[in-house]
Each structure stands twice: as structure tokens, then as C-alpha cells.
């Protein structure tokens, strides 16, 4: 994984401060390396988190704690995708039982990611150390920098719902297409190579590659085959990569023949480190990173947010309807108040017409004074507050009451007081 990232052609903006290697995690991420690029942040977890074959309880607790930490700090979308790096050399050299155990471990970790994070995310399988397939380096040795940066592998049709055709149903077809591309290129490479040993490796490489088909098919199906009791993984593709050319290539054809005929196995020479990477640069920049939007969101969190949002809208609607009803009630009440005041003012005018200046008895003006005193909001109600049903910014009683109180006081001074003085 580390070699693939270092030779991926990605820009690491923090390299000047921390070096080109990954930044070691601390605390809950102490067993995780951080790779900061311009396009994404890559978290490289310890390999034992996947296999959990040494200290199972400790590794499982650390792995699940790491997932909880991701979910805590990125609740809506904890991750945008998962890269599963598998060494081709390990697959070729391990037994079927070992490969199946490894595939089941990967399957278990993917389901834990689904269950713990609550999202569905794209998964990319990187078959690293492809240079250890006998003839790989010789076959692709003539490629220029741009050609080495292309993607070599298979991208499956997108199944966003999880109910369509399983991606691995197209594995055989896609693998056959890769074989045809190798066969189409084989003649040209043989014509361009003069060294007999290298020509032999170039000639045999398509068959070496073909020999991986059943092995990979079995491994990938063990790891990603859907069933009714687990969430279907969103497997986007399988890609062959080479970060650097080191080690001894593995000749599966000769190994099979040696085992069949009980012959001594011929050891191929070790590869010299050419410092070149194959099929990595565009894989990250043009295939993996642009698909970050395929990752779903935490459904539980989204449902909780939806309920909260719906509750907020419902509360706002209820408040609006409530305020509207109260304003309507206040408007009707104030309208009735104005109508009632107008009727009582008419009665006051009639009483005023009955009072003659020649009537010097104080009792003659008392009905008029009582009528003015009891006008709505007037002197008789001066100590009472605003009725709640008439409030909410629409209350007209203060304006009407101030006028009624002023009229009442003028009548006390202009009508009652002179009559009282005449009696003294």
C-alpha cells in the first residue's frame, strides 16, 4: 500500500514539512498512517486490522474503535470509499485455504464498515506487485511515462441501488478483454525485443496472466459475492498496479508443469528496481477520486435530521397558524370594541341633547356622566390591563379610552362642577 501511494504521482502538499512518507497517527489513530494529497486524505490502516490473526481481541477492539472515531468526527459521510490493496505475489504463493481465509477476513471488515458507519461506499481492489507476474516488466518495458500512468484493469457498471446484476458477474468478460489486449500487443513486443530470454518472458506473459483468472475469480467471489443477509458491497473495479519492481517474479506456468511432471523448478532472476510505477497515476486521479460522491450518507443520521427538520417545519406551521388565529381573534374583538364604542357614543350624544343649560340640578347630568364614565377603555376601566384576546399589536382600547377619559374629565369640570358651585 505504501509503495503504491508513494509512486502514485499524487501531490503531497505537506511533504516539505513532514517528508513524503505518511504522517503517523496518534491517540485513536496511532495504528493508522495519514496521507494528505491535494485531492483527498487517505487513511492507511494497519494490515493486522484486516486479518486480525495475531491478537484478535485487541485488533478487533482497535479496529472498531477507529471506525467509531471516524463516525464521531464525520457523522454524515465518514468515508468516501475504500481501497483494498492485495499483493499479487501473496495470492499466487498462498494456498486456496489461505486465500479463502483472507477473503473472508476482507468480507467481514467490509460488513463492519457498512454496519458501523451506516453508509454504502465504493470499493476498489488494487492488485499490487503485479510486476512479480513473470514477464510483466519485460512486456510493458517499452511504455512511456504517460502510457504507464493509464489504468489497467476493469471498472464494473455502477449499481447504485444494490439490486442490479452483481459486479462480479462481468468479471470473466472483463478479464477476457484484458487478455485480448495483451494478445494484440504481444506480436509488436516480440518484434521489438532481441534478447532471447526476454522474448521468452514476453511470449509467455499473456498465458501467465490468464493463469490468474480462476484464482482471482475465486478470491473475489469469496470476498464480494452478495448474499441475502449482508449489505451488498459497491465493488467498482479491480486494477493491476506496480509501484516499484523488486523481488523475484513468480512463474505459475513452469511451477504447474514442474509439479505435474515432478521436475525441478527454475528460479527466475530478481528484478532490479527501475524506480518506475505502472498503472497508478490516472487510477487515483481519474477513477477513484472523481467517484467520491458515490458514497452514501449515514441513513440513521439523515433520518434523524429529517425528523428534526420535519418537526421544526411542523412547529413553525403550528406557530404561524396559532398566531394567525390569535390575530384574527384580536381583529374581531377590536372590531367589536369599536362598534360597541360607536354605539355608546351615540347614546351619549342623545343624553347630551336632553341636558339643558337651564337645568341647575346636579342630578340632571348624572346619567350623562355615568354613560361617559363607562365608555370602553374609559375612566371606569383606567386601572384594568389590556385583555389578552384583544392584544397582539391590534388593541384599539388605549386610543379610544384616552379620548373617553378626557371627555369625562371635561364634563366633570364643565357640567357637574358649575352645578355643584350653584348649590353652595
Range in 22-31, 49-58, 67-76, 210-219 the model is least confident about = 22-31
Looking at mean pLDDT, say which of 18-27, 97-106, 274-283 comes out highest: 97-106
Confidence of residue 265 (pLDDT cuts 50, 70, 90): very low
Range in 136-140, 160-164, 216-220 the model is least confident about = 160-164
Q: What is the pLDDT of residue 73?
A: 82
Q: What is the pLDDT of residue 256?
A: 46
- Taking the C-alpha atoms of residue 346 and residue 390, their distance in angstroms, rounded to an integer, is 23
Dihedral over Cα of 236, 240, 244, 250: its sign: positive
| Nearest alpha carbon to residue 281 among 156, 153, 155, 151 | 151
What is the per-residue pLDDT across 83-133, written as a single tens digit (0 to 9) for each?
Answer: 999 999 899 999 999 999 999 999 999 999 988 888 889 999 999 999 999
Range in 34-38, 160-164, 170-174, 188-192 the model is least confident about = 160-164
Q: Is 34 exposed, middle or buried (0-12, 13-18, 19+ CB in 10 A)?
A: middle
Q: What is the pLDDT of residue 30?
A: 58
Q: What is the pLDDT of residue 208?
A: 92
Range in 143-157, 176-190, 215-229, 395-409 the model is least confident about = 395-409
User: Taking 70 as the threshold, does the pLDDT of residue 15 lie above it?
Assistant: no
User: Taking 70 as the threshold, does the pLDDT of residue 248 lie above it?
Assistant: no
| Nearest alpha carbon to residue 110 among 97, 91, 123 | 123
Q: What is the pLDDT of residue 103?
A: 94
**Which cell numbers hold the place of 71?**
463516525
pTM passes above 0.75: no
User: Taking 60 as the threshold, does the pLDDT of residue 28 lie above it?
Assistant: no
- Tell me the residue length of the chain: 424
Please give the full DSSP string across 223-265, using - where no structure is assigned: HH---TTSPPPEEEEEEE-BS---B--B-HHHHHHHHHHT-PP
Q: What is the pLDDT of residue 383?
A: 64
Q: What is the pLDDT of residue 180?
A: 96
Higher pLDDT, 212 or 379: 212
What is the per-residue pLDDT across 323-333, written as a single tens digit (0 to 9) for each?
Answer: 888 888 888 88
- Taking the C-alpha atoms of residue 91 and residue 313, their distance in angstroms, rounded to an integer, is 56
| Nearest alpha carbon to residue 139 among 177, 174, 181, 171 | 181
What is the per-residue pLDDT across 66-76, written as a single tens digit (0 to 9) for each?
Answer: 888 888 888 77
Q: Which phi and psi (to 5°) does residue 185 adopt?
A: -95, -15
Please give the full DSSP string across 403-421, using - where no structure is assigned: HHHHHHHHHIIIIIHHHHH
| Nearest alpha carbon to residue 84 among 121, 132, 53 | 121
What is the per-residue pLDDT across 291-340, written as a single tens digit (0 to 9) for each?
Answer: 988 876 655 666 777 788 888 888 898 888 888 888 888 888 878 878 88
What is the per-residue pLDDT across 200-210, written as a single tens digit (0 to 9) for each?
Answer: 999 999 999 99
Contact of 97 with 209, CB cutoff 8 Å: no
Q: What is the pLDDT of residue 353?
A: 73
Q: What is the pLDDT of residue 385?
A: 64
User: Taking 50 as the threshold, does the pLDDT of residue 258 lie above it?
Assistant: no
Give the DSSP letter of residue 389.
G
pLDDT, averaged across the chain: 81
Q: What is the pLDDT of residue 263?
A: 43
Q: What is the pLDDT of residue 304?
A: 73
Using a pLDDT cut of 90, give the percent of the chain over it. 32
User: Taking 60 as the threshold, does the pLDDT of residue 32 lie above it?
Assistant: yes
Higher pLDDT, 145 or 5: 145
Q: What is the pLDDT of residue 169?
A: 92
User: Taking 80 as the threshold, does the pLDDT of residue 139 lie above it?
Assistant: yes
Higher pLDDT, 159 or 211: 211
Higher pLDDT, 257 or 246: 246
| Nearest alpha carbon to residue 152 among 248, 32, 283, 36 | 283
Q: What is the pLDDT of residue 17?
A: 66
- Can you tell me whether residue 222 is helix, strand or coil? helix
Q: What is the pLDDT of residue 268?
A: 52
User: Taking 50 as the threshold, does the pLDDT of residue 5 lie above it?
Assistant: yes
User: Taking 50 as the threshold, does the pLDDT of residue 354 lie above it?
Assistant: yes
Amino acid at each position: 500500500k505504501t509503495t503504491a501511494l508513494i509512486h502514485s504521482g499524487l501531490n503531497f502538499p505537506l511533504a516539505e514539512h513532514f517528508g513524503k512518507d505518511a504522517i503517523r497517527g496518534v491517540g485513536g489513530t496511532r495504528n493508522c498512517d495519514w496521507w494528505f494529497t491535494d485531492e483527498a486524505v487517505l487513511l492507511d490502516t494497519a494490515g493486522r486490522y484486516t486479518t486480525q490473526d495475531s491478537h484478535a481481541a485487541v485488533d478487533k477492539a482497535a479496529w472498531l474503535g477507529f471506525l467509531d472515531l471516524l463516525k464521531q468526527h464525520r457523522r454524515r459521510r465518514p468515508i468516501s470509499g475504500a481501497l483494498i490493496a492485495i499483493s499479487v505475489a501473496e495470492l499466487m504463493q498462498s494456498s486456496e485455504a489461505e486465500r479463502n481465509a483472507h477473503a473472508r477476513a476482507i468480507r467481514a471488515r467490509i460488513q463492519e464498515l457498512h454496519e458501523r458507519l451506516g453508509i454504502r461506499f465504493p470499493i476498489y481492489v488494487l492488485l499490487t506487485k503485479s510486476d512479480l507476474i513473470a514477464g510483466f516488466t519485460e512486456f510493458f518495458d517499452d511504455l512511456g511515462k504517460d502510457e504507464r500512468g493509464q489504468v489497467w484493469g476493469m471498472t464494473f457498471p455502477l449499481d447504485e441501488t444494490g439490486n442490479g446484476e452483481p459486479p462480479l458477474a462481468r468479471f470473466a468478460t472483463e478479464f477476457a478483454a484484458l487478455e485480448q489486449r495483451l494478445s494484440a500487443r504481444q506480436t509488436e513486443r516480440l518484434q521489438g525485443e532481441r534478447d532471447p530470454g526476454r522474448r521468452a518472458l514476453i511470449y509467455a506473459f499473456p498465458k501467465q496472466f490468464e493463469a490468474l483468472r480462476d484464482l482471482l475469480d475465486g478470491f473475489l467471489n469469496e470476498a464480494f459475492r452478495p448474499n441475502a443477509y449482508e449489505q451488498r458491497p459497491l465493488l467498482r473495479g479491480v486494477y493491476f498496479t506496480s509501484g516499484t519492481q523488486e523481488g523475484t517474479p513468480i512463474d505459475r506456468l513452469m511451477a504447474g508443469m514442474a509439479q505435474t511432471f515432478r521436475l525441478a523448478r527454475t528460479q527466475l532472476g530478481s528484478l532490479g528496481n527501475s524506480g518506475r510505477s505502472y498503472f497508478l497515476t490516472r487510477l487515483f486521479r481519474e477513477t477513484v477520486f472523481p467517484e467520491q460522491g458515490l458514497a452514501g450518507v449515514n441513513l440513521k443520521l439523515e433520518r434523524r435530521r429529517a425528523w428534526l427538520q420535519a418537526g421544526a417545519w411542523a412547529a413553525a406551521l403550528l406557530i404561524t397558524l396559532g398566531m394567525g388565529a390569535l390575530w384574527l381573534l384580536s381583529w374581531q374583538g377590536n372590531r367589536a370594541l369599536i362598534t360597541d364604542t360607536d354605539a355608546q357614543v351615540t347614546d351619549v350624544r342623545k343624553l347630551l341633547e336632553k341636558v339643558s343649560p337651564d337645568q341647575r340640578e346636579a342630578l340632571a347630568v348624572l346619567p350623562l356622566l355615568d354613560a361617559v364614565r363607562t365608555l370602553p377603555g374609559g375612566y371606569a376601566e383606567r386601572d384594568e390591563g389590556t385583555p389578552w384576546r384583544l392584544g397582539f399589536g391590534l388593541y384599539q382600547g388605549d386610543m379610544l379610552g384616552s379620548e373617553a377619559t378626557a371627555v369625562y374629565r371635561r364634563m366633570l369640570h364643565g357640567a357637574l362642577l358649575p352645578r355643584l358651585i350653584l348649590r353652595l
